[in-house]
Amino acid sequence: MQFLSFRGALTAAAMMFVTLAGAAPSAAWAEAPSMAPVVSAPSPANRVPAAALSGVALISQGTVSAPAAAQTSATPTPVAMAIATGALHVDSLMQLVGDMPIQTALSADLKCLAQAVYFEARGEPIEGQLAVAEVVINRARSGLYPDNYCDVVTQPAQFSFVRRGRIPEADETSAAWQRAEAIAEIAQQNLWRSKASDALYFHATYVRPTWAHQKVQLAQIDTHIFYR
């Protein structure tokens, strides 16, 4: 992933942001809890919503709307600020993944989110990887699950890669991990929405969990089916 080509645009965006602020793996499943959530309709696919960033709204692809606070990280990334100020126009999720800077250190919670993407969906298309990240984020803000990503991911009998409450070590030198980091940050910043952005549950196509018929199916993305 290259970030240097946008350095000038992002620097300009960061300066504008400061001025404005001064002015004012495939065998995966995610089980359902015993209590059914409120069902809501799926969101349009490939929609870039607005995100409130210290008074600056993200505006991309003609869509402007405020995201849930829990899905927006406290500190906007340079890419988020560049989109917010119009210095960077994003045409595809693939472009956005490529534009995200590689993080040298992640917060514990964001690392858990990236690990969920890596272990549950690194073989899936990037929209499917984003949808998995969105499931974790949606659970953390739903009131039905723990309120942080690590506890959501390590909750017993929820994610198949977790063993005895422990997350395995990812190959952090791999391109798949760098992609998972970018996807986690994009989901955290609410920079892009998948076909399953409102999902709370998912499972692989080759399993048939008993809870699936009680949920509203939002989308199938490659080998994962997502529900609300």
Question: What pLDDT is recorded for position 124?
Answer: 97
Handedness of CA 80, 106, 47, 200 (dihedral sign): negative
145-191 pLDDT, tens digit per residue, is 999 999 999 999 999 999 999 999 999 999 999 999 999 999 999 99
Q: What is the pLDDT of residue 73?
A: 47
Q: Does residue 19 register a pLDDT over 70?
A: no
pLDDT at residue 46, as a whole number: 39
Q: What is the mean pLDDT of residues 16-36?
A: 42
Task: Check residues 36 and 94 and name the one with the higher pLDDT.
Answer: 94
User: What is the phi/psi pair of residue 221, to 5°?
Assistant: -120, 105
Mean pLDDT of the chain: 76
Determine what percent of the chain falls in helix, strand and coil, rounding each to the nearest 5: 40, 10, 50
Report pLDDT for 30: 66
Residue 5, pLDDT above cutoff 80: no
Cα R_g (the chain), whole angstroms: 17
Decide if 202 contacts 27 (C-beta within 8 A): no
| Lowest-confidence region among 15-29, 106-120, 129-143, 199-213 | 15-29
3 state SS of 49 = coil
48-227 fold:
Arc Repressor Mutant, subunit A (1.10.10)
pLDDT-derived band at 105, boundaries 50, 70, 90? confident
Out of 6-10, 114-118, 171-175, which region has the weakest mean confidence (pLDDT)? 6-10
pLDDT band, very low/low/confident/very high, at 65 (cuts 50, 70, 90): very low
Residue 6's contacts (CB-CB under 8 Å, 6 or more residues apart) are 79, 82, 88, 99
User: How far apart are the C-alpha atoms of 32 and 204, rounded to whole Å?
Assistant: 14
Task: Identify which of 204, 203, 198 has the alpha carbon closest to the alpha carbon of residue 218.
Answer: 198
**Which pLDDT value is given to residue 227?**
98
Of 96-105, 128-137, 159-168, which gets the smallest average pLDDT? 96-105
- pLDDT, residue 103, reads 75
